[in-house]
Structure 1
Amino acid sequence: MHAPAPPHLAVGRPLRVMLLLANWVGGGAERVAAHVVARLDPERIDARLGLLHTRGPYLDMVAEDRVVVPAQPDRFAHFGLPNRELFTVGTIVGGAIHAPRAFRKMIIDHRPDVVMSFLKGTAILTYLALMGLGPRRPRWIAREGNNVLTLAEYESPNPAARRASLALTRKAYARADAVLANSSDMAADLIGDLGIAPDRMHTINNPIDIALIQQAAGQQVAGKPNRPYILSAGRLEYQKAHEVLIRAFAASRAWRSHALVILGKGSLINDLHRLAAQLGIGEHVRFIGFVANPYAWMAQADLFVLSSRWEGFPTVAAEALACGTPLLMTDCKFGPRDVIEPGISGELVPVDDVDAMARSIADLIAAPERRAALREAGLARVQRFAIEAMVEQYAKLFEKFAPVPAR
């Protein structure tokens, strides 16, 4: 006996889905959205990206006719900034007026059956955009990919703004038909922190394109150190805690045999340079900046270290596993315990604990057989995040919320 066709296929057309993103700063959310739109079967699901502007990386992964933008995208060019830099009176007022109108017009013009918002800022804009649409309102899935409470604390300029941000976030998520998290411990905290009913909560880990990563990992690395190295990658910002990593690297004495290579750009670059010099290890710490192919660097590293204070799902850590790189990470909220099995496919240390990280770095560098075991277990572990399986989970979630067609 055959299972019944999904509701949208019963009426002979693909399900129409629109993924909404307010800012496009080149993080994990943007990459996931681009992967999902590019990989879904258009005969099954007609997926579009609804963006306020088209500036930033990863857009070349998506066909141009899959991207929808407002008539005046330059009006929203400032939405390419990190959220913390958007907390000004002008951007808040302008965003509250113009951005929901832009999303609303996209929704009315393209008539998606399901919309998915990415991150809390876009969730608030989507909540405003959908108000009053009545029967034209699509089903709405609010996807969260970061630590909402910590981010609100960090981004808000004062306690009043933090309270207002969280109140509006709770109200918005309460109106969504479903909430999606990208790690299991984030889902558990969202249920408690935002009062989301457990039956409205779903979890899909970020997709990892293992075949593409492993192909890129075999390429040559230009400018690498002339000795073994430990690698980290991520924006040079407070969240990633590179100063903790640099202090731990100095304390571990691993600089006697290894360099520390950090990939990424950010506002703290000068502070981190000064710190390395003050600790007497400036010549052993290399800041490479943005690289188009970080995977070749990962594949040749003796150890990958992620020192983050918070995450949503640390995609870069899973990518390191795909490159066969032994992994050491902080046990931050959220995602490390989804990425690895502690002690088997990677190691965890407490957040902001320089001494614990230094000990783990020293122990792992001194134990090549231990690193080899982590490498093999990590390669097996990352298979659970294979892009094909993760995109199929998205397809099934969209179909679960497809409107039942009228008779």
Structure 2
Amino acid sequence: MNNIGGAARTADSLISSQVKAGYKVSTVVLTYLDLSWTVDFKAGEEVIIMKVSGSKFNIGGPIHQILIAKQLSQVITNQKPDLIICHTAFVTKLYYLSKLFIGSISIPYISYIHSDYISESMAKVKADSIKAVIHNLSISIDSWINLTAIKQASGLAFVCKTLSERFLHLGLNHPRIAICYNPVIADQNNPSLNSTAKSWLSNSQLITFVSAARFHYPKDHKTLLQAFAKASETYSNIRLILLGDGDLETDIQALANSLNLRDIVLFAGSVPNPRAYFSLSRAVILASTFEGFGMVIVEAVASGVTFIASDCPVGPREISEVLKCGTLVPPSDVNALAAAIIEHVKTPPEKIDRSEQIERLFSESSCAENLELLIQQIIC
């Protein structure tokens, strides 16, 4: 597994459940972060940390990835597991490459797909130029390796049904597939709110929305800010709290300033428990152009509030349908998102109670049980 997005948190939950079920589990973590972050990572009887170079969104180029795969092959050869679960398509690719080295051993593996990397790959395609042609060829080769690695897996786990169907359209008709919705994990952290956020959320004269998303291009903060600026022309008492961090944070702050949103949009940083903010907001907004699932809007509903989300290829529509709530708008549509925000301001606050559906579909036990069924198909 690697430490990108919510995959690590979900994996940690699943591994804890597997240990309780009697499995002996070793966890291999690929991290670009300072090793101090791993002190809270407790899943598995043994945790093996592989420090790699890179950033949150780019762990090295092809040569570096091959070197990581070689190191991974040595770890696996030493561990000799009965089954490997590769969290994310990227880790699946690394394991597939690791099997090519002399002396490595071949182990049945499950590819656990957490993200819509199909849309992500398409988004990385550049316009025509010699440099772009080389770049696009590299993406095509990488995508082919990814799909080959996934197709050869002993089983596939997807975080939602829509994501599995998206892969089926590519001809990935695998006999062993499990749908494992990411679990809503209770967070024991109850930190004090940002002082400005607290004043907004407690002010009955203000209507405050929250968005929790890393500052990365698929999250489309540009459309969100432009829509919010447009909505504020109609209602000056609306506020927006942005939770998260990321490579584009400085650019998004500059955009907020250029749109004269300095006094009504708050950059509150990354917080350990966003649900403390969600529960006091009018609604949670997710403006992504693509998602692996969009767990943040499930957490919003678990907090008792509704959501506004872009109807991107994977995630929000499925969540809206199974939980029977939420407002969907076309991706990257400033006018539609602004209209949705205005509609929420015009109507009374909507408190959501979907506790039964959350427990049935998004509990840690439900996710673990679905994965367990897939594991038993492979090892029995």
Are 1:243 and 2:222 an aligned pair? yes
Q: Which residues in structure 2 correspond to 1:304-319 (within 5 Å)?
A: 304-319=284-299
Q: 1:391 aligns with which of 346, 368, 376?
A: 368
Q: Which runs of 5+ in 2 are unaligned?
A: 126-131
What is the aligned partner in structure 2 of residue 335 from structure 1? Answer: 315
Are 1:260 and 2:245 an aligned pair? no
Distance 1:202 1:395, change over 3 A: closer
Deviates more, 1:179-188 or 1:34-43: 34-43
Q: Cα deviations across residues 126-167 of structure 1 (Å, max 9, x unaligned)?
A: 112234799953211111111122222344672111111111
What displacement does 1:58 show?
Answer: 6.8
What is the aligned partner in structure 2 of residue 207 from structure 1? Answer: 183
Are 1:92 and 2:69 an aligned pair? no
Distance 1:395 1:133, change over 3 A: farther
Matched position secondary structure for 1:256:
coil
The 8 Å contact of residues 278 and 305 in structure 2, kept in 1 or not, is answered as yes
Q: Which residues in structure 2 correspond to 1:29-68 (within 5 Å)?
A: 29-42=7-20, 44-53=22-31, 55=33, 57=37, 60-63=40-43, 65-68=45-48
Give the aligned CA root-mean-square deviation in angstroms: 2.6
Are 1:82 and 2:61 an aligned pair? no
What displacement does 1:348 show?
Answer: 0.8
Q: Cα deviations across residues 67-86 of structure 1 (Å, max 9, x unaligned)?
A: 123xxx44x2x15x234x34
Q: 2:140 aligns with which of 158, 163, 166?
A: 163
Q: Which runs of 5+ in 1 are unaligned?
A: 1-20
Are 1:320 and 2:314 an aligned pair? no
How many equivalent pairs are there? 361
What displacement does 1:222 show?
Answer: 3.5
What is the aligned partner in structure 2 of residue 221 from structure 1? Answer: 193
Q: 2 CA distance for matches of 1:45 and 1:54?
A: 28
Q: 1 CA distance for matches of 2:64 and 2:220?
A: 32
Q: 2:6 aligns with which of 24, 28, 31?
A: 28
Matched position secondary structure for 2:163:
helix
Q: 2 CA distance for matches of 1:35 and 1:231?
A: 26
Q: 2 CA distance for matches of 1:391 and 1:304?
A: 27
Q: Cα deviations across residues 297-332 of structure 1 (Å, max 9, x unaligned)?
A: 111111110101111111111111111121111111
Distance 1:44 1:185, change over 3 A: same
Q: 1:179 aligns with which of 144, 148, 156?
A: 156
Q: 1 CA distance for matches of 2:331 and 2:356?
A: 26
Distance 1:355 1:150, change over 3 A: same
- The TM-score with structure 2 as length reference comes to 0.86
Distance 1:315 1:58, change over 3 A: farther
What displacement does 1:386 show?
Answer: 1.1
Q: Cα deviations across residues 30-73 of structure 1 (Å, max 9, x unaligned)?
A: 1111111123244522222112348465761415843123xxx4
- The TM-score with structure 1 as length reference comes to 0.81
What is the aligned partner in structure 1 of residue 106 from structure 2? Answer: 137
Q: Cα deviations across residues 255-280 of structure 1 (Å, max 9, x unaligned)?
A: 51221000011222222222222222
The 8 Å contact of residues 31 and 58 in structure 1, kept in 2 or not, is answered as no
Matched position secondary structure for 1:324:
coil
The 8 Å contact of residues 291 and 315 in structure 2, kept in 1 or not, is answered as yes
What displacement does 1:114 show?
Answer: 1.0
What is the aligned partner in structure 2 of residue 230 from structure 1? Answer: 209
Matched position secondary structure for 1:180:
strand
What is the aligned partner in structure 1 of residue 129 from structure 2? Answer: none
The 8 Å contact of residues 29 and 145 in structure 1, kept in 2 or not, is answered as yes
What is the aligned partner in structure 2 of residue 9 from structure 1? Answer: none
Q: 1 CA distance for matches of 2:99 and 2:287?
A: 39
Structure holding more helix per residue:
1
Q: 1:192 aligns with which of 156, 169, 176?
A: 169
The one-letter code of the counterpart of 1:398 is I
Q: Which residues in structure 2 correspond to 1:13-24 (within 5 Å)?
A: 21=1, 23-24=2-3
Matched position secondary structure for 2:263:
helix
The 8 Å contact of residues 52 and 102 in structure 1, kept in 2 or not, is answered as no
Q: 1:277 aligns with which of 257, 260, 263?
A: 257
